[in-house]
């Protein structure tokens, strides 16, 4: 059994504003990881909590620092597609086709693992999840470390994923050796996860690489039912992360499937203490309650969702009505995160009916 006590660490902030000028910070981050330490680092999706993926003790510390259940496997981050051959076997040709089109980028591919990947990293599974991040700072740190970097999102388990270094400071100060600050993440939701390790390719988590984009290469791609619904009792969680509580702020969130007029009229009519609207830009002129706007389109909404969930807590929101995102493009990823934050509470407003 793993010791459950987390030992305090001196956390340092390593700022990278400009790659060439701030080279020292990158070298230091790579060194800490190579030596078995923990570093929160930026990627284009969200900040990751990185450690040497080949070092079981370092990986165990990721789980301790986050309070993450040990059966929830980690994604390993590598520099280029061909490096996967060191860590995975039975790699199908479509892996390379997908990498040519989408990598570096926000796509994670699950393959059967080689023995070099410790079971600690794979959460006890015989597969490994591989990603080639696009963020120049993440790429430079992987290069400096000289090892694949296991990195789940750099938040405490259950809380919204971090999209700024300040979010990492809030959750992980004293729990990691360093936090690399390179500003806000551009995508804002975690990578798309697909598995090529089973009989048929399956999408386990939606992200910025959408099912429509993937189907060009994987016409028989299935979408796991847990992407849009609560995992049913007895149904196997093909991705262990599916079964755990996620992204939850303290406030009770209810998603309202409604157009702008229905949404704003309904929310304005509610008289509740600590009420907030989590809305789109077009709703703002009509709202008479405190609100946080996610922006105008799906890309904006993805970028701002997690910061907005944290802000709701900071502003003391108790009850939140969230406008239901469209499920188009990256909107499916926004919806997938929001239904978890809302503990699957969703209602349709159609003019007359009460939510």
Binding site for ligand AMP (CB under 6 A): 72-75, 110, 122, 125, 127-129, 152-153, 190, 193, 204-205, 239-241
Measured from the CB atom, the residue of 72 and 210 that comes closer to ligand AMP is 72
Which window, 14-22, 114-122, 145-153, 312-320, contacts Mg ion (CB under 5 A)?
145-153
Query: Of 190 and 283, which CB lies nearer to Mg ion in the complex structure?
Result: 190
Shortest distance, CB of residue 350 to ligand AMP, whole angstroms? 34
Q: By beta-carbon distance, which residue lies closest to Mg ion?
A: 153
Closer to ligand AMP by Cβ: residue 276 or 306? 306
Residue 43 binds which entry of Mg ion, ligand AMP, none, CB below 5-8 Å type-dependent: none
Is residue 302 within 8 A of residue 271, CB to CB? The reply is no
For 329: left if phi > 0, alpha if psi spans -120 to 50, otherwise beta; the answer is left
The residue with its CB nearest to ligand AMP is 241
Closest approach, Cβ 128 to ligand AMP, in A, equals: 6
For position 153 contacting Mg ion by CB under 5 A, the verdict is yes
Round to whole Å and give the CA distance between 149 and 156: 19
Q: Is 72 in the site for Mg ion (CB under 5 A)?
A: no
User: Please, which residue, 28 or 205, has the CB nearer to ligand AMP?
Assistant: 205
The H or E element containing residue 169 is: helix 165-172
Q: How far is the CB of 45 from Mg ion (least distance, A)?
A: 10
Nearest approach, Cβ of residue 153 and Mg ion (Å): 3
Helices (H), ranges, 35-135: 56-66, 84-87, 93-102
Shortest CB 159 distance to Mg ion, Å? 9
CA atoms within 13 A on the CB side of 19: 8
Q: Output 213 or 237, the one with its CB closest to ligand AMP.
A: 237
- Name the residue among 272, 229, 158, 97 with its Cα closest to residue 321: 272
Q: Measured in Å, how far apart are the chain's first and last C-alpha atoms?
A: 47
Backbone dihedral angles phi then psi of residue 88, each to the nearest 5 degrees = -130, 155
Task: Residue count of the chain, please give it.
Answer: 355
Size of the site for Mg ion (CB under 5 A): 1
Query: CA separation (Å) from 103 to 66, 181, 200, 208?
Result: 27, 23, 21, 12
Decide whether 152 or 323 has the Cβ nearer to Mg ion. Answer: 152
Closer residue to ligand AMP (CB): 188 or 276: 188
Q: Which is nearer to ligand AMP, 134 or 317 (CB)?
A: 134
Rounded to whole angstroms, how far apart are CA atoms 85 and 130? 11
Nearest approach, Cβ of residue 80 and ligand AMP (Å): 20
Within a 10 A sphere around the Cβ of 190, how many other Cβ atoms?
A: 27
Of 32-40, 152-160, 179-187, 226-234, the segment contacting Mg ion by CB under 5 A is 152-160
| Least Cβ distance, residue 295 to Mg ion (angstroms) | 22
Nearest residue to 307 (alpha-carbon basis) of 101, 159, 127, 137: 159
Minimum distance between the CB of residue 91 and ligand AMP, rounded to whole angstroms?
14
Checking phi first, is residue 80 left (phi over 0); if not, alpha (psi -120 to 50) or beta? beta
In the complex, the residues that contact Mg ion under the rule CB under 5 A are: 153
């Amino acid at each position: 059994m793993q010791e459950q006590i987390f030992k305090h660490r001196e956390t340092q902030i390593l700022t990278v504003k400009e790659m060439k000028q701030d080279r020292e910070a990158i070298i230091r981050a790579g060194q800490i990881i190579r030596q078995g330490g923990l570093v929160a680092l930026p990627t284009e999706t969200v900040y990751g909590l990185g450690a040497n993926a080949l070092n079981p003790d370092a990986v165990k510390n990721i789980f301790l620092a986050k309070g993450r259940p040990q059966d929830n496997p980690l994604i390993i981050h590598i520099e280029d597609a061909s490096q996967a051959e060191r860590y995975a076997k039975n790699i199908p040709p479509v892996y390379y086709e997908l990498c040519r089109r989408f990598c570096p980028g926000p796509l994670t591919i699950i393959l059967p693992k080689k023995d070099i990947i410790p079971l600690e990293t794979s959460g006890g599974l015989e597969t490994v999840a591989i990603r080639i991040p696009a963020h120049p700072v993440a790429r430079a740190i992987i290069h400096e470390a000289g090892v694949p970097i296991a990195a789940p999102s750099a938040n405490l388990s259950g809380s919204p994923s971090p999209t700024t270094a300040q979010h990492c400071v809030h959750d992980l100060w004293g729990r990691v050796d360093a936090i690399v600050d390179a500003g806000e993440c551009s995508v804002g939701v975690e990578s798309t996860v697909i598995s090529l390790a089973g009989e048929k390719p399956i999408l386990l988590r939606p992200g910025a690489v959408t099912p429509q984009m993937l189907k060009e290469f994987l016409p028989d791609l299935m979408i796991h039912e847990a992407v849009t619904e609560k995992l049913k009792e007895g149904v196997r969680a093909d991705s262990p992360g599916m079964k755990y509580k996620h992204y939850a702020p303290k406030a009770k969130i209810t998603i309202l499937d409604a157009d702008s007029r229905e949404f704003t009229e309904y929310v304005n009519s509610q008289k509740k203490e600590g009420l907030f609207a989590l809305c789109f830009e077009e709703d703002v002129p009509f709202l008479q309650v405190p609100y946080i706007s996610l922006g105008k389109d799906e890309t904006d909404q993805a970028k701002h969702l997690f910061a907005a969930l944290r802000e709701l807590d900071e502003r003391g929101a108790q009850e939140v009505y969230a406008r239901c995102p469209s499920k188009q493009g990256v909107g499916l990823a926004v919806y997938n995160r929001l239904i978890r934050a809302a503990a699957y509470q969703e209602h349709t407003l159609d003019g007359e009916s009460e939510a």
